[in-house]
Chain A
């Protein structure tokens, strides 16, 4: 909402500079986006260089046919000015820009020789002064313009403009007068009365006999008012009106349309003017649109209307989308003489839905959708009727329509000073509460120990005591509230187990050299194909957005891998080759028969660069399956848990170099090299190892709090053995058999070497184990260890067909 300061000052006697006023508004709840300047630049005496002049004489320019040489009285002096326009005559008053003057577009005018003749200034057109987009000639001012006076004192051609952001609960402030009322309350300045005094109609006809007006849907149109003005002359608006609208950011159209806009800007009631000659059957009805009806709006758009939308229709068809935009067919144009002036109150929600459905927002719809004051209807009609008859001529036809479901019943509530203190934490004296509310337009009287508060029609947002508390807080001053902390605080803060685990895992992975990324939760619809998911893979069933920004962001992900690969690919494309990344985020799984989906936290990552980082000593190993598995092991260890693996069944992983991860028999994730076809689908030209583990699985495997085990008091004995087994024998089987056979003295068996080669023959491999024996009660004897070792070897031979490698 742009509020030109000089316009505001018509209604409130405030003399604060724009910056100070803006500061006060900001601290009382009216956000000031910025202070701009409209029209002629102020400062540096610029405004003194624009004066009202009278053309004393016009002579042809000696050296140019299209130019004339004017002598212009600028009040006590006469200037010689060369002018290219021809729309004026001797005696006309106009705006003169004297040498040194700077125009709104930043151009500075200097005295110059034009075709060999000196010109001491410029006669200005409206477009040069920023009042119109185009002008046919110079601006001719009325006879009452004082010659020699400053232009700015006669016309608002230079103004500071407060650009306000009005919150949706305060549609009353979407008007200059509403802001003036607010300014009066917060500065203590005097508010002038609303400029809505009525005029007398003329003639012996009556609008109620000339036209028929009805409201078919009072729920969507609680109030509908119409007046008729006959015999107007449609012309461009006078300069002052153009200047007002231009400063507010509105485009001048013609006098009648400009006046309806001016009224809207002044008091906040959107209006519409119909050309009565173009209203079929001389009837207007506020009704819902019929299915299939269409209208061409004044912006030229063809709109298909829905049955829920309220329209204003004439005898044949819709002539306006109520409260949103008028129709082109009945708009006021050059030949219009009789106008039906509409001011109405429409249901906010209906207007919002119509405007959203049509994708059409206007100054009118943004006001109506917030719910307007019904009392504005007669006020707007009175103000517009007066201005139109003054500016466009014509007469107000006697009679009027003011159709409403029920008269306005003022709301009322109460306020207790002790409640104010209890909620704000500061005592505001009852007298001050009273003063604040009165200044804001509330009717306050004593009632018991509290106050009875009558709510004015323009403050429909205030219904309850708490709403009044807010009014008091903001005007009293939030800066006067002393800071404190909740006195009853007896809760202990902290993270949940899951949050703590998340943090530990994130730190762990970062500590291992992975960088955390945060990717969008939505992915493209083609992800399933790129991942080679089978037709019946449940991850194909994703939560879909009804209104995605793009196809690439249309589904809530059911798996993290696409996000990881896209992030990796983007980094590789930027030559960030050490793209080892992870993310802890959610996957979203639809649940049959439920509105909401399952949301599960997943720890996912992918490795596509050196594990060592670039170094002059070599880059270290490239990531492989075991690198990924090592990270998974580290994550489980971090939470004192463990897991089992099985060869993967995931279609997007290398069938030989990947594993599914199990906790308590259920699959909680996978780790391994990504399938080359998947890498190709993501434009990645190097091997990538990925892992993805459900956070719940990691936590479920946790043994909880670590319990002390004495590994210190008694020493361990270590023995190494190498056994030869079939080449495809899983090492885990060897360790499991050794573990069972070595119990209870065998503490751990660790693989420290795998060998295949000619020494042990084809189809075989040697597995070297480091065996640690210990007892928590004593130091083991050599004999005990030897016999345990022998049992292990025997079991490996018998159960796995292993042979000891000597």
Chain B
């Protein structure tokens, strides 16, 4: 309430009474309807205030300015009070309505069903992203492949004992055609087409004739190939260390163990420190603290011979990893076959 107005109204007790009554009615209005009734009664055309203001022209000239000024001030003050009151009532009404609109917030929400990418795809993409980040391109090649690319050009000629390690699916009616047993043949195809430097990874499906708890006849590999001047074993180690830390966590270590593959020399198998026990030794790593994740090595000069690269000019490294194994280690999947059962209760978990 305008104190100034109240003091001034003392100069006109009649107006003061009208004002007081109206102000009280507005303040007392408990509903929007009551407030409207108060407006009609105290501010409407037939209200005492309106009548008083309309009667000003008939008042003595000396009174007119005072009544006019005070009356209009009182009207403005009352309208303001009215608006304030209306806002308060509306707010209260909204609050009450909202309070009544209670629902069970524990019920589940709209499903907006989102499907899942297969864990193999997620793992493949993650591997691809790490290597594209390191500057590698992704190459692809045929799955129905010739003996030449799958074995011979990879320094595994006919009769080589390493051939018997691969249980190969052969194609009926086409001599020397098979389902590739690894993605390595694409190495040769890439090098046939391109001059060094070559930095590629080769993801894809591969096939071996084997089916039991730890083998499926189809699985996935990612092959990597770097050929350039001055590529060293140290580069291989650094690259795979970067991969392992990126894939399994910054605190992971890797170690290289000498091994044998026909198409690399020296050849190594690569272990990552066990992510389950942190390297202390547990059931998963057979107490060794290490888990084997891939095979690798420097490209054998004989392979360069097949693609007309000069081993005195360039050197290279290659590596190959099983995507299923990486996914199993990372996510604790215990049965390889689940990847290909495609049960939604499996797929939806990742």
Contact = CB atoms under 8 A, between A and B. Distances in A.
Contact of B260 (A170, A425, A481, A567): A170
A566 B232 CA distance: 48
Contacts, number: 267
Contact of B315 (A422, A481, A548, A588): A422
A188 to B, nearest CB: 18
A511 B115 contact: yes
Interface in A480-508: 481-496, 499, 503, 506-507
A408 interface: no
A425 B339 CA distance: 39
Interface in B237-287: 237-239, 241-242, 255-260, 265-269, 286
A644 interface: no
A324 B2 CA distance: 117
A572 B197 CA distance: 50
B143 A466 contact: no
Contacts of A343: none
Contacts of A520: 217-218, 340
B348 interface: yes
A586 to B, nearest CB: 7
10 contacts: A26-B257, A348-B161, A473-B266, A491-B137, A493-B137, A516-B116, A518-B339, A520-B217, A520-B218, A576-B343
Contact of A490 (B165, B197, B237): B197
B321 to A, nearest CB: 17
Interface string A550-575: 00010010000000000100110010
A602 to B, nearest CB: 14
Q: For this complex, into which size category does the number of interface residues on chain B fall?
A: 35 or more
Contact of A596 (B146, B197, B347): B146
B110 A356 contact: no
A464 interface: yes
Say whether chain B's binding surface is mostly helix, strand, loop, or mixed. Answer: mixed
A425 B235 contact: yes
Given A499-B138, A510-B114, A516-B115, A479 B255 contact: yes
B121 A506 contact: yes
Interface string B183-208: 00000000000000101000001010
Most buried by A among B199, B342, B343: B342
Top 10 A-B pairs, shortest CB-CB distance:
A425-B234, A349-B159, A425-B232, A29-B258, A167-B260, A613-B111, A470-B266, A483-B238, A474-B258, A613-B113
A616 B315 CA distance: 63
B177 interface: yes
Interface in A574-601: 574, 576, 578-582, 586, 588, 595-597, 599
A63 B169 CA distance: 68
Contact of A599 (B143, B228, B267, B339): B143
B6 interface: no
A28 interface: yes
Interface stretch (A132-140, A238-246, A311-319, A539-547): A539-547
A652 to B, nearest CB: 21
A570 B343 contact: yes
A424 B232 contact: yes
A467 to B, nearest CB: 6
A549 B217 contact: yes
Contact of B121 (A348, A481, A516): A516
Most buried by A among B115, B158, B233, B298: B115
Interface of B: 107-108, 110-118, 120-121, 125, 128, 131-138, 140, 142-146, 158-162, 164-165, 169-174, 176-177, 179, 197, 199, 205, 207, 209, 211, 217-218, 226, 228-235, 237-239, 241-242, 255-260, 265-269, 286, 298, 300-301, 315, 339-345, 347-348
B309 to A, nearest CB: 14
A423 B111 contact: no
Contact of A27 (B159, B173, B257): B257
B300 A424 contact: no
B256 to A, nearest CB: 4
Say whether chain A's binding surface is mostly helix, strand, loop, or mixed. Answer: loop
B258 A470 contact: yes
A309 to B, nearest CB: 14
A708 B238 CA distance: 45
B165 A168 contact: yes
Given A467-B265, A485-B235, A493 B135 contact: yes
Contacts of B112: 513, 613
A545 B128 CA distance: 30
Nearest to B199: A491
Given A580-B115, A588-B144, A423 B138 contact: no
A545 B179 contact: yes
B257 to A, nearest CB: 6
B258 A517 contact: no
Nearest to A492: B135
B258 A473 contact: yes
B205 to A, nearest CB: 6
A503 B203 CA distance: 14
A356 B340 CA distance: 30
Contacts of A595: 146, 174, 176-177
A422 to B, nearest CB: 7
Nearest to A586: B143
A517 B228 CA distance: 38
A55 interface: no
B104 to A, nearest CB: 10
Contact of A489 (B110, B171, B199, B342): B199
B110 A617 contact: yes
B145 A516 contact: no
B170 A546 contact: yes
Given A423-B315, A425-B233, A571 B344 contact: yes
A353 interface: yes
Contact of A615 (B111, B115, B138, B339): B111
A708 B160 CA distance: 60
Given A493-B133, A521-B218, A580-B115, A474 B169 contact: no
A483 B348 CA distance: 38
A169 interface: yes
B344 A578 contact: yes
Contact of B241 (A26, A483, A518, A548): A483
A744 B131 CA distance: 49
Given A424-B233, A478-B237, A484-B237, 8 more contacts: A168-B161, A422-B315, A466-B300, A486-B199, A507-B117, A519-B340, A581-B344, A613-B113
B329 to A, nearest CB: 18
Contacts of A511: 114-115
A354 B23 CA distance: 115
Contacts of A549: 209, 211, 217
Contact of B172 (A28, A485, A545, A616): A545
Contacts of A614: 111
Contacts of B207: 521
A494 B199 CA distance: 11
Contacts of A518: 118, 120-121, 339-340, 342
A31 interface: yes
B144 A493 contact: no
Nearest to B300: A466
B164 A484 contact: no
Contacts of A580: 113, 115
Nearest to B344: A576
Nearest to B173: A544
Contacts of A469: 265-266
A615 B315 CA distance: 60
A581 B342 contact: yes
Contacts of A570: 341-343
Nearest to A483: B238
Contacts of B172: 544-546
